[in-house]
Amino acid sequence: MIAVTLGLWAAPAFSVAADQGREKLEKVPPEEYPIYDRVVEAKFLTSQTKLVIIDRLTIGELRPDLPPPTREFFKEFDFFAGKMQPETVTDFLFKTRRRSRLEARFNFGVRYQFVSDGVLEEPMVFLAPVPAGLTRFDPTRIGVLGFSRVGFNAREDQALVYVGDFRPDGSGAGFLVLLHRVGHEWKITDTEVLWVAREDE
């Protein structure tokens, strides 16, 4: 399990130029946030996590040094050993063609804050007490999670999302997470580690 407060930092892979027209970006719809919440809770939160930093814009690249994925990419690597439905991949690829704007709809029970182009946004989102010493942005102590859009199957009982974990020392990892819905609750089916970067590699 990864403690988000222990030093993640955004890679340039998902910075966006100001002239891209941020106001024209599509907003991520409400039905995708329970997926994000479940992934953060399961993969990144610990009892010591005080703050989660999230990139305001979604990302499309599954690795910082590669272009956005294609259907052939998914066929070649056969992620999740056949458990992922083709229509889930189709929806994922369609949604990740363009970046979208995340809103303050997360509900994983820990204070979080958005960052845009390396700068923390205001106002901060308070879901827990403010940890001492974190009123100013310190990239050596606080990190960033980057999320893709969420792909669903037609029944909306399977979901696919990518999350990148970027740290200030150049290390980090990228994950594809497959989930399934049981009643009204989303559960993680499996996780594929797409890349791992160690310090100074």
What's the confidence (pLDDT) of residue 135?
A: 44
> What would the pLDDT profile of 136-175 be if each residue is shown by its tens digit?
444 444 468 999 999 999 999 999 999 999 887 777 899 9
**Angle, vertex CA 151, rays to CA 145 and CA 156, nearest 5:** 125
Helix, strand, coil shares of the chain, percent, nearest 5, are: 25, 30, 50
Token pair for 99: 């970046």
pTM: 0.81
- CA dist 11 and 15 (Å) reads 8
Mean pLDDT, residues 19-34? 81
Question: Average per-residue pLDDT in the chain?
Answer: 82
Low-confidence winner among 28-42, 48-62, 180-194 (lowest mean pLDDT): 48-62
The structural domains of the chain, with segments of one domain joined by +, span 4-15+25-197
Residue 96: is its pLDDT beyond 70?
yes
